[in-house]
Amino acid sequence: MAPYKALLVLWWIEGVERLMTRVILTLLISFALTACGGFNGREDALFDSRYQHPISVDPQVVTLQMDVPQDKVALSLADKAALDAFARTYKARGHGAMTIAAPSGSPNEAAAVSIVAETRAVLAEAGLSGAAVGYAAYRASSANSNAPVILTYRRFVASASPCGNWTQDYAFAPNNERTPNFGCSTQSNLAAIVADPADLMGPRDWDPAFAPRRDEVIENFRVGEVTEAAESGNASGSVSEVAE
């Protein structure tokens, strides 16, 4: 019996050694994965290019000056073209009211008042009136007979951080970390092409509801009538011959 007991003891020892080897290997692999996760784990993956190369959005005042000589009685064609272009850019990216400032105390004060009135009419034709346009006066020099009428509005400008940081050795990246230029070109392109940089700061406000249509739909629902718009003759559910 002694030889058999010795063999059983040897088998038990070998089994324990194999088990301990597996446990040690498992622990080593776990430690290795944990170490990798410390460098580029979940937190690092969430840290995208928006944080590494943020886009800054800053306000900027846009100005248009129109000289007003003492003998000026009306806007020129060039003035009207400049006003039309100024109004279009304001409608596209302007925020807040557009301000028209006229000189006060200068020899051309009376001519400036006349030009402001005509400017107001030109802006109204471009769709800017009421609360969209504000008026102000600024103190001009009594010696300045050509003090301008100044139009201003506020817009936002987007700018990204500069690219081209090659200080890191891109051929040696054992931690698989982000490179200094990661996402820089994408952020720069976004800052350059965004229609209104103010959209990067938050969503736009909702347009006001069209009250007449809303009241009509609610009334139809209340009396049990159809609430959807009537189908016109232009609507068709047939498949075009090209698709067939």
26 located within any domain: yes
Q: Residue 155: pLDDT above 90?
A: yes
Please report the pLDDT score of residue 46 as a whole number: 65
State the residue range of the domain holding 11: 2-41
DSSP 74: S
- Residue 187 CB: number of other CB atoms within 10 A? 21
Give the pLDDT confidence score for residue 17 in this predicted structure. 64
Can you tell me the distance from the alpha carbon of 202 to that of 178, in angstroms, rounded to the nearest whole number? 27
Give per-residue burial for 235-244: e unless 16+ CB within 10 Å, then b: eeeeeeeeee
pLDDT 10s digits, 48-102: 777 888 999 999 999 999 999 988 888 999 999 999 999 999 999 999 999 999 9
- Same domain membership, residue 60 and residue 31: no
The reply to whether 35 falls in a domain is: yes
Same domain (yes/no): 79, 142: yes
- Give, as one character, the DSSP assignment of residue 224: T
- CATH number of 98's domain: 3.30.1330.60
Q: Give residue 130's pLDDT.
A: 83
Q: 7 and 90, same structural domain?
A: no
- CA–CA separation, 117 vs 131, rounded Å? 16
Examine the domain organization and report whether 87 and 123 are in the same domain: yes
**Are both 67 and 133 inside the same structural domain?**
yes
Tokens 């306000």 belong to 59
Non-local (6+) Cβ contacts of 82 within 8 A are 64, 66
The answer on 106 and 28 residing in a single domain is no
Q: List the strands of the sheet with 95-104, edge to edge.
A: 55-66, 149-160, 95-104, 133-139
Domain count, the chain: 2
What one-character DSSP code corresponds to residue 91? H
Q: What is the per-residue pLDDT for 235? A: 60
